[in-house]
Chain A
Amino acid sequence: MTSSGTEKALSLLRRLPRVSIGNLGPNPGAHNEKRRGRGIYGGKTHGAGSGGSGQRQNFMRVGYETGNTPFYLRFSYQTYYKGHHLKLSYTPLCMGKLQMMIDTNRLRCDVPVDVTQLMATGLFSISPQQKEGGFMLENEGIDHFKATINIEVQWANEAVIASVERNGGFITTAYFDPLSLTAAIKPVEFFGRGIAIPRRMLPPQHLIDYYSDPKNRGYLADPAEVARERFLLAQKYGYELPDVNASPNKDILLERKDPRQIFFGLEPGWVVNLKDKVILKPTDPELKEHFAS
């Protein structure tokens, strides 16, 4: 008969995550945290202890101002860094560069253009770990932009949206949380990990308004309002909105992702097996409900 202590231990074992390098640590006292000797007077010194003025390297600590409150301690905070850990930076992509990539066949236009397709060109690098959110389109070259594309980026301003739409294209701004972005920018590496495609998370509070605004063609905005804004923008900039139904690429131009989708056509919860070239889909109703929520 097992004691309650053993039972508790076993139940803990069942609940806790799998033991891995990431959650192991040494026992207290296993590692000797010996401090390096400094100065010429401490035991086991690393200072030049032979004495003599030529050998003394007894510097005061950096910033010490011989007694008065030093500069680095005078102020308790610096406001210009407030919230810097929450702010994302975006890789700038000029419309001119986008046009050049299309002209030189570097960027394929037979599929909707999104973060994955832009990264597949090999011309950019994004590191979500460094708080990079994706791509933002810049104004340079909007006058010469002639391509009809369905593009999904993370940030776009009014002029850029107008330049895409007047050529009959569609632009959407969409948020990718860091884990989803890691999967989106390197899909082959992600599929190699053998885990289910995650659900894309919703934007943080300070970005929700941006992505819900039809003026920014946000992916969370009402499609009817987005259509209305397209019409209004055409009037503002003075061009006629081309009819998408007449376009030969109608299917590509009208393809959109669900807010919880990372890849076109692939749903969260699926596992892609690149080696056997199959997709494994969960059948359990609870799992399906979770991934579809």
Chain B
Amino acid sequence: MIMALKPCVRQLGGVAQVWRCVSRSIAHQTYRITAGNTCHDINDAQKAAGPTSARLPRLRHTIPESYEKVEVSTAEWSYVERLLPLKSIPKPTGNPGEVMPSGWVVPSAKPGDYPYFVPRSANHMLPVYLLHKPILSKHVTSVKHVQGDIFALSEELREHLTQLLPSRKIINMRVHEPHQMIQIKGQFVTELKEFLLKKGF
């Protein structure tokens, strides 16, 4: 798996030797392997002109035909397949309710457990978002993709928040049924996520 190239730095000692190596390699040109890209051979003209006349510099202006010869191989195709990204977001594996080291919880609730159902987003995360325009001191917490009886969930959320924040007299809440969303004025992302995780969503 580890290829047998000659690393030009690893075997060398200090920085000065590294740069010597680099300048040597810059002297090489980069060639493109193209098919049928041969130009007129200028060697005849150069020979006719003689050694004393103005010679072109070391740069080669014909691409030798030997460069076009390639070896076709499929032995390393598995390494190419490794690089191809997946076409869709992979499904997480785990037992329902399992808490992963990062804090991510596998959902365990099923539609029917409650009058409402809150599925995970496309990235398998809880659909609780904070809307905040930095220029304004307005924060709105929103729970999206709520299916079923959204009003039942909104009542439960109101109860939960009233219990958490007894000093708060008013909890401004907006239930938008067609958009399947509940909006609450303030920053309650952590509290709502904990609430939903406890329910198993």
The number of chain A residues with a CB under 8 A from chain B is 66
**Min C-beta distance of A111 to chain B, whole Å:** 5
Kindly list chain A residues whose C-beta atoms are within 8 Å of the C-beta of B133. Answer: none
Asked if A120 contacts B85 (CB within 8 A), the reply is yes
Q: Considering only CB atoms, which chain A residue lies closest to B49 in the complex?
A: A7
| Per-residue A-contact encoding for B89-123, CB less than 8 Å = 1, 0 else | 11111100000111110000000000000000001
Asked if A263 contacts B83 (CB within 8 A), the reply is yes
Which of B61, B74, B75, B83 is A15 in contact with, Cβ under 8 Å?
A: B61
Which of A14, A146, A198, A284 is B66 in contact with, Cβ under 8 Å?
A: A284
Interface residues of B in 43-75 (CB under 8 A from A): 45, 56, 59, 61-62, 64, 66-67, 69-75
Q: How far is the CA of A114 from the CA of B66 in the complex (A)?
A: 35
Q: Considering only CB atoms, which chain B residue lies closest to A272 in the complex?
A: B80
| Per-residue B-contact encoding for A194-209, CB less than 8 Å = 1, 0 else | 0110110010000011
Asked if A261 contacts B5 (CB within 8 A), the reply is yes
Kindly list chain B residues whose C-beta atoms are within 8 Å of the C-beta of A260. Answer: 5, 7-8
Asked if A271 contacts B33 (CB within 8 A), the reply is yes
Interface residues of B in 71-89 (CB under 8 A from A): 71-80, 82-86, 89
Asked if A120 contacts B86 (CB within 8 A), the reply is yes
Asked if B74 contacts A277 (CB within 8 A), the reply is yes
Let me know if A90 is at the binding interface, CB within 8 A: no
The number of chain B residues with a CB under 8 A from chain A is 61
Let me know if A141 is at the binding interface, CB within 8 A: yes
Q: How far is the CA of A141 from the CA of B102 in the complex (A)?
A: 8
Q: Considering only CB atoms, which chain B residue lies closest to A290 in the complex?
A: B28
Let me know if B167 is at the binding interface, CB within 8 A: no
Kindly list chain B residues whose C-beta atoms are within 8 Å of the C-beta of A7. Answer: 45
Q: How many A-B residue pairs have CB under 8 A?
A: 173
Which of A103, A223, A261, A280 is B71 in contact with, Cβ under 8 Å?
A: A280
Kindly list chain A residues whose C-beta atoms are within 8 Å of the C-beta of B90. Answer: 104-106
| Per-residue B-contact encoding for A146-186, CB less than 8 Å = 1, 0 else | 11000000000000000000000000000000000000000
Q: How far is the CA of A251 from the CA of B67 in the complex (A)?
A: 35
Which of A105, A146, A258 is B7 in contact with, Cβ under 8 Å?
A: A258
Let me know if B9 is at the binding interface, CB within 8 A: yes
Asked if A282 contacts B33 (CB within 8 A), the reply is yes
Asked if A280 contacts B15 (CB within 8 A), the reply is no
Let me know if A69 is at the binding interface, CB within 8 A: no
Q: How far is the CA of A7 from the CA of B64 in the complex (A)?
A: 21
Q: How far is the CA of A11 from the CA of B123 in the complex (A)?
A: 59
Asked if A103 contacts B73 (CB within 8 A), the reply is no
Which of A119, A187, A292 is B5 in contact with, Cβ under 8 Å?
A: A292
Q: How far is the CA of A96 from the CA of B21 in the complex (A)?
A: 40
Q: How far is the CA of A106 from the CA of B91 in the complex (A)?
A: 8
**Given A7-B45, A281-B71, A15 contacting B56 (CB threshold 8 A):** yes
**Min C-beta distance of A210 to chain B, whole Å:** 12
Kindly list chain A residues whose C-beta atoms are within 8 Å of the C-beta of B70. Answer: 271, 280-283
Asked if B15 contacts A212 (CB within 8 A), the reply is yes
Can you list 22 A-B contacts (CB < 8 A)?
A14-B62, A102-B102, A116-B83, A122-B85, A196-B33, A212-B9, A212-B15, A255-B2, A256-B2, A258-B3, A260-B8, A261-B3, A265-B78, A271-B33, A277-B77, A278-B72, A281-B70, A281-B72, A283-B69, A283-B71, A284-B64, A293-B24
Interface residues of A (CB under 8 A from B): 7, 10-11, 14-15, 96, 99-100, 102-106, 111, 116, 119-122, 141, 144-147, 187-188, 191, 195-196, 198-199, 202, 208-209, 212, 220, 222-223, 251, 255-256, 258-261, 263-268, 271-272, 274, 277-284, 287, 290, 292-293
**Given A258-B3, A280-B71, 8 new contacts (CB under 8 A):** A103-B104, A106-B89, A119-B85, A256-B2, A258-B5, A259-B9, A263-B79, A293-B6
